[in-house]
Chain A
Amino acid sequence: MNLNEQEMLAAAVDRELKQLPELRAPETLIARVMSKIERCEEPSARNISWTSWPLRWRIISLSVFATVFCLAAFGIQWLFHAPFGTSLVRQMAQNASGLDVVWNTLSVLAGAAELALQKLGSRFLILSAALLITTYFVCIGLGTMMIQTAIARRKTL
């Protein structure tokens, strides 16, 4: 096919395609879009700020919050002064002493690690650091190479 024939074919295809009428969209399209919009427009309670709540809800929520706050404040005061409360506080303090065991174990482990590092010497530390840095850069390099290969492959497709 020569150049002239190619141009004629291009013109004919262009004419054919441009004459095509618009296709009819499915009947369901508008309903689908509108229902999606309605769902998005319905703001959830979490997304409305307290100041935008209806007045009745603001009064109720404020009353509930004030009541809970007062109860909590009086409750804590009562806990520390009542005989039952003092024994409860004492018991809680005793339970917390169990954490000492965990702390002691961690201290022993840290001491052992320190001792091991002293025995191995600074050369070991330097070598480990160098190995870590090299591994990091190798990973970065390989990752970059793989991404570049993937992009190049995508361009050729």
Chain B
Amino acid sequence: MTEAQHFETFMRDYQNLVFSTAMRLVANAAEAEDISQEVFLKAFAHFDQLRNDPRAGGWLKKAATNLSLNHLARYRSRWTFFSELFSAREDQDGSESDIADERVAETLEQRERSGVVEQALQKLPTAQRVPLVLYHLEGLSYEEIAAQLGVSLGKVKTDIFRGRETLRRKLRLIPGLETHLR
């Protein structure tokens, strides 16, 4: 088995992990694929150390997170503008979003739950999705997120809170939550 074949097997084992990490941060399949490609090219450069390392998954996840954040930072001014524009519109148009929520709730019954959660997550404004993913999926603390994104601690907390609220509204069927919150 050649080095390239070994690496191909390695990629097969980790490609979903890397792609998921990038996809949940950038919420765009084409961009996530580009980022995954970049991650694996970096991994190939360190393949001697990674091939038998049990922490390879962690290394790849971190690389995917960092590259995704770099990618977002490159377009930050653009996405901040649009995400805040849309979130403001969403806040103003309560009735419209309620109708949309009804539709999402209906589809919730028809489609697999994970698919709907994934969809709801990807539809979050970038300013809310990124800190939310970093907190819940990457296990970073508020302070670490603030440092990584170069924003204030208050903004991180507010964005995460808003993100959770949006998810709560969109995913009405969160077990046990409705009874406590209403």
Contacts and interface: CB of A to CB of B under 8 A. Distances in A.
Interface of A: 1, 5-6, 8-10, 12-14, 16-26, 28-30, 32-34, 36-38, 154-157
25 contacts: A5-B181, A8-B181, A12-B175, A13-B168, A13-B174, A14-B136, A17-B117, A17-B132, A18-B137, A20-B118, A23-B20, A25-B16, A26-B19, A26-B29, A26-B33, A29-B11, A29-B19, A29-B36, A29-B37, A29-B40, A30-B12, A34-B4, A36-B37, A38-B4, A155-B151
Nearest to A13: B164
Nearest to A16: B117
Given A30-B11, A36-B37, A155-B150, A25 B19 contact: yes
B137 A17 contact: yes
A20 B177 contact: no
Interface of B: 4, 7-8, 11-12, 15-20, 23-24, 29, 33, 36-37, 40-41, 44, 76-77, 80, 114, 117-118, 121, 132-133, 136-137, 150-152, 161, 163-165, 167-168, 171, 174-177, 180-181
Contacts of A24: 16, 19
Given A17-B133, A33-B40, 8 more contacts: A1-B181, A17-B117, A22-B20, A25-B33, A26-B33, A29-B40, A32-B33, A36-B41
A25 to B, nearest CB: 4
A42 B175 CA distance: 55
A22 B23 CA distance: 10
Contact of A20 (B11, B19, B114, B181): B114
Contacts, number: 106
Nearest to B163: A13
Query: Which 10 pairs between the two chains have the least Cβ-Cβ distance?
Result: A25-B19, A25-B15, A22-B16, A23-B20, A17-B136, A22-B20, A12-B177, A33-B40, A12-B174, A13-B164
Given A16-B117, A25-B15, A155-B150, A30 B8 contact: yes
A112 B177 CA distance: 90
B69 to A, nearest CB: 13
Nearest to A21: B114
A114 B180 CA distance: 91
A34 to B, nearest CB: 6
Nearest to A32: B37
A25 B13 CA distance: 11
